[in-house]
Amino acid sequence: MVQIKTPEQIAKMREAGLVVAAIHAATREAAVPGATTRDLDEVARKVIADHGAKSNFLGYGGFPATICTSVNEVVVHGIPDDKTVLKDGDIISIDAGAIVDGWHGDAAYTAFVGSGHAPELIELSRVTEESMWAGIAAMRLGARLVDISKAIEGYIKRQPRPAVGDHSLGRYGIIEDYGGHGIGTEMHMDPHLLNYVSRKRGKGPKLVPGLCLAIEPMVSLGTPRTEVLADDWTVITTDGTWSSHWEHSVALTEEGPLVLTAVDGGKAKLAELGVTAAPDPLA
């Protein structure tokens, strides 16, 4: 069953979403050369505590931290530790969540550590983020779940891969084994949202007011395939190519989409795409 939220429940999810946004801001500032991924987790723990919220990552299926810290070829679910020290030129995807009064928020972003990043890495993150926004813009009343998948995949496939020297890098890899999901009283709920169109899955449910989704494309510079390391959490690309992960939690209302985990509710970016964001219930 797909959980449909009332306006009052969406307002609670907005509170949780703003805690996640605060985690993002604090960890982005802390993601500097010399910091460990454990340092970033401590920053996130403090933000959650300062807001009187709870972590939805800590203890989830046995996960031992409050954020996922996925560096370079790690796609998702990297575990913070004292051994992983960020270096100049690294990229890191930080996935964070929070619970307020039983309602969940969940979002991720890719950050550049230090300077000197190759143009193809900068473009990789841009393409991944913009494909997420294309998916959010497709979250319209009366559309189907597959329309979001189609928008994400279509955007990525339209982007040329940067060339390195005299060689084109080919196409981006849209990660196949992981995707978006419903969110509400649990972090992961139906429906599962693919970042590509599958003929086997059909069109999926209609998008109706009160539907809340975490929209999260994951894209690599190479293969779409992944493997899980021996810790049973860390997911890497099978060819070792670096990847990017972007995510926002979004509520669909009678007045349009509300990006629950964006500080401005998605207003500015959606306007660029010709979409009017729903009013912020906390404004």
Give the residue ranges of the annotated binding site for a divalent metal cation.
95, 106, 181, 216, 247
Which parts are annotated binding residues for substrate? 77, 188
Which parts are annotated binding residues? 77, 95, 106, 181, 188, 216, 247
Q: Distance between CA atoms of 58 and 190, rounded to whole angstroms?
A: 21
- Torsion sign across C-alpha atoms 232, 148, 192, 211: positive
